[in-house]
Amino acid sequence: MQILELFSKDILPYVILSHTWGNDEVAFHDMRNGEARSKQGFIKIARCCEEAVKDGIEYAWIDTCCIDKSSSSELSEVINSMFQWYRHAEKWYAYLSDLSSQLSKEDIEKSLPSCKCFTRGWTLQELIAPKELIFFAQDWTPRGDRSHWAAIISAATLIHEAVLTGSVQKVRTFSVAQKFSWASNRHTTREEDMAYCLMGLFGVHMPLLYGEGSQAFIRLQEEIMKKSDDQTIFAWSQIDMDHQYRGLLASSPIEFEQCTDIVPFRNWKSSQSYENTNAGIRLTPSLLRTQNETLFFMSLQCYDQRAPERMLGIDLVKLSPTGDQYARIHDLQYHMGIGCEFLERQTIFIRNDVIHPEAHNFIETGKFIRFHISVTGHESSHQITHAWPPDQWVQHHQMLTPPNWFDASKPKSNRPDPGLFNWSWHAALLLSSSATRDTFFSEDEKLIVVIGYNGREDQCWCQVDFGSSEDLEDVWTKTPYSGTTRMSCSLGMDANSRAPSVHVTLLGPDGATYPESVTASLDGQPFITLIQID
């Protein structure tokens, strides 16, 4: 057994071993200096070669001992060429060291998905590229080929079954987002390798820069953008809620986990180009204006096969009123498109690294705002009986508190988004009479008071109307996070009504005049909300 160096024009039939690395593998220099047999990993090499001989093949390529890792140039060349080498191999042997040879077929079906090879980054393209892939248990007993276990592997890895049963050319028919979804639950020892191990899957090449960390995955997406106009690359969902403003590119494959069915429109007559610049990604999209002048919905040229009737896109916030700079906020969005009015197409830039000037000043303020509620007046028998969201109301302190934006126990649809207008938030209170005597308020005329913080204007606000407990959540949902900056509001009656009037007034933390700047006035004390019913 010896190392043989060949060039592409001299390549002879060969097999490749797919395996997960152990602690005592045979390295390239071990093969050179004759120390290979003393290593625990040599057993895998020997058994692989024995299987190759049985199949009439004289050569094998094994990553642990066939790459000179002391040469950075050779390592870079190998990683950039790997997918092609994988495709041209006569056969692949996948050695599963954690799959017992004593298992029945039924037990294999249960155990196979938990094998380490289905969670490692480097083994993804090893599952996809080969023409023929045979699995071996820990004692090298053959356990069927890739096609035989395709359905089970697909369920465990998100790789579409058609890729596992068809030719490698089938990979080209899947979208960028779908390919990234295949890697969403995989990991590598070095952070950069989570990008480098995917280059062959997308047919791109780039230098290896160990030490760049998460920037490697950004570079991979930028390389893909140079050769593809597939906008599913932007169809990821945010997992890191600590950052309210994002660029168009994902930070990790895990943000594509929900993208297994997202595909581009196949309209060759109308394609939308985009490119990366030093001012961000430049594109000319379809923008839908929302109720707020700085918030827009950008439709993507792709759709979810599970809901093809809905428009797919992302929310953008304009970073300045007159500029062309935008940033992404929120998760991937669905829109029915009914009654939409799109703006005339114009070129915009979506920044990769975003530091919003207003966010710098006010981003933390909304996390510390609290409102102490005091009900006064002739009709002070009214009490707060319900609140929405309920976890923001502290009954024994009669106080509204900020939401927990990062409570993972709540579905995302029920969590307020800190990325919307600088941590704005609001809550709705229902006031009901506790008096047994006649009251001017009927059962249908209970009061709903909405109180909130407008992060964009750095102001607190309030509004009041009639309603019932059934209306409370609906009122909260339909009230814009930053809909107003009114520091007081009233609910008056007509001249013939005997019902009292209602006044809601917001005061500063010291009970005095409302401050010009909420941020500047924070001193740990809650704002005071007077609800006067006369």
Question: Tens of pLDDT along 38-69?
Answer: 888 899 999 999 999 999 999 999 988 888 88
Residue 444 reports pLDDT greater than 60: no
> How many other C-beta atoms lie within 10 A of the C-beta of residue 267?
8
Identify the CA nearest to 302 among candidates 338, 264, 342: 264
Place of tokens 């005597």: 437
* Burial tier of 426 (Cβ tally within 10 Å: 0-12, 13-18, 19+): buried
Amino acid in the structure at residue 6:
L
Would you state the pLDDT for residue 8? Answer: 56
The segment(s) of the chain belonging to CATH 2.60.270.20 are 365-533
CA distance 46 to 44: 6
* Token pair recorded at residue 511: 């009970």
The radius of gyration computed from the CA coordinates of the chain, to the nearest angstrom, equals 31
Strands 502-507 and 527-533: antiparallel
Three-state secondary-structure class, residue 276 = strand
CA distance 530 to 505: 5
Would you state the pLDDT for residue 220? Answer: 98
Residue 436 reports pLDDT greater than 50: no
Query: How much is the mean pLDDT over the chain?
Result: 82
Q: What is the mean pLDDT of residues 463-482?
A: 81
Region class of 66: left (phi > 0), else alpha (psi between -120 and 50), else beta: alpha
Give the pLDDT band (50/70/90) at residue 265. Answer: confident
Give the pLDDT band (50/70/90) at residue 533. Answer: confident
Would you state the pLDDT for residue 522? Answer: 60
Would you state the pLDDT for residue 90? Answer: 92
Sign of CA dihedral 516, 519, 522, 526: positive
Residue 237 reports pLDDT greater than 60: yes
- Highest mean pLDDT (candidates 5-9, 193-197, 236-240, 409-413): 193-197
Residue 381 reports pLDDT greater than 90: no
What backbone phi and psi angles, to 5 degrees, belong to 500? -75, 165
Three-state secondary-structure class, residue 7 = coil
Would you state the pLDDT for residue 323? Answer: 78
Would you state the pLDDT for residue 495? Answer: 47
What backbone phi and psi angles, to 5 degrees, belong to 477? -65, -40
- Highest mean pLDDT (candidates 47-51, 268-272, 349-353): 47-51
Place of tokens 């092609």: 84
Q: Let me know: does 332 contact 250? Beta carbons within 8 Å.
A: no
Give the pLDDT band (50/70/90) at residue 465. Answer: confident
* Token pair recorded at residue 428: 């709705």
Residue 428 reports pLDDT greater than 50: yes
For residue 19, CA distances in Å to 134, 139, 485 come to 12, 14, 62
The CATH code of the domain at 365-533 is: 2.60.270.20
Would you state the pLDDT for residue 269? Answer: 56
Q: Let me know: does 212 contact 189? Beta carbons within 8 Å.
A: no
**pTM of the predicted protein model:** 0.67
Q: What is the mean pLDDT of residues 286-303?
A: 81
Would you state the pLDDT for residue 529? Answer: 77
Would you state the pLDDT for residue 35? Answer: 83
CA distance 17 to 91: 9
Q: Let me know: does 103 contact 111? Beta carbons within 8 Å.
A: yes
* Token pair recorded at residue 125: 């393209």
Neighbouring residues of 360: CB distance < 8 A, sequence distance ≥ 6:
none
Would you state the pLDDT for residue 291? Answer: 62
For residue 350, CA distances in Å to 256, 285, 419, 421 come to 20, 11, 16, 17
Q: Let me know: does 73 contact 208? Beta carbons within 8 Å.
A: no
Strands 393-394 and 348-350: unpaired
Residue 106 reports pLDDT greater than 60: yes
Q: What is the mean pLDDT of residues 216-237?
A: 95
Q: How far apart are the first and last CA of the chain?
A: 97
* Token pair recorded at residue 257: 């986990």
Would you state the pLDDT for residue 163? Answer: 93
Give the pLDDT band (50/70/90) at residue 335. Answer: low
CA distance 191 to 180: 16
For residue 143, CA distances in Å to 104, 149, 525 come to 10, 9, 68
Would you state the pLDDT for residue 438? Answer: 45
The lowest-confidence range among 268-282, 283-297, 383-397, 425-439 is 425-439
Q: What strands, in cross-sheet order, belong to the sheet with 14-18?
A: 59-61, 14-18, 91-95, 133-136, 142-145
Would you state the pLDDT for residue 361? Answer: 42
Would you state the pLDDT for residue 292? Answer: 63
Asked if omega into 403 is within 30° of 0 (cis), the reply is no
CA distance 162 to 151: 9
pLDDT in tens, 475-525: 888 887 655 666 777 776 554 545 557 777 877 766 666 666 666 556 667
Could you write out the DSSP letters of every residue in 369-429?
--EEEEEESTTTTEEEEEEESGGGEEGGGTEE----TT-TTS-GGGS--TTTTTT-EEEEE
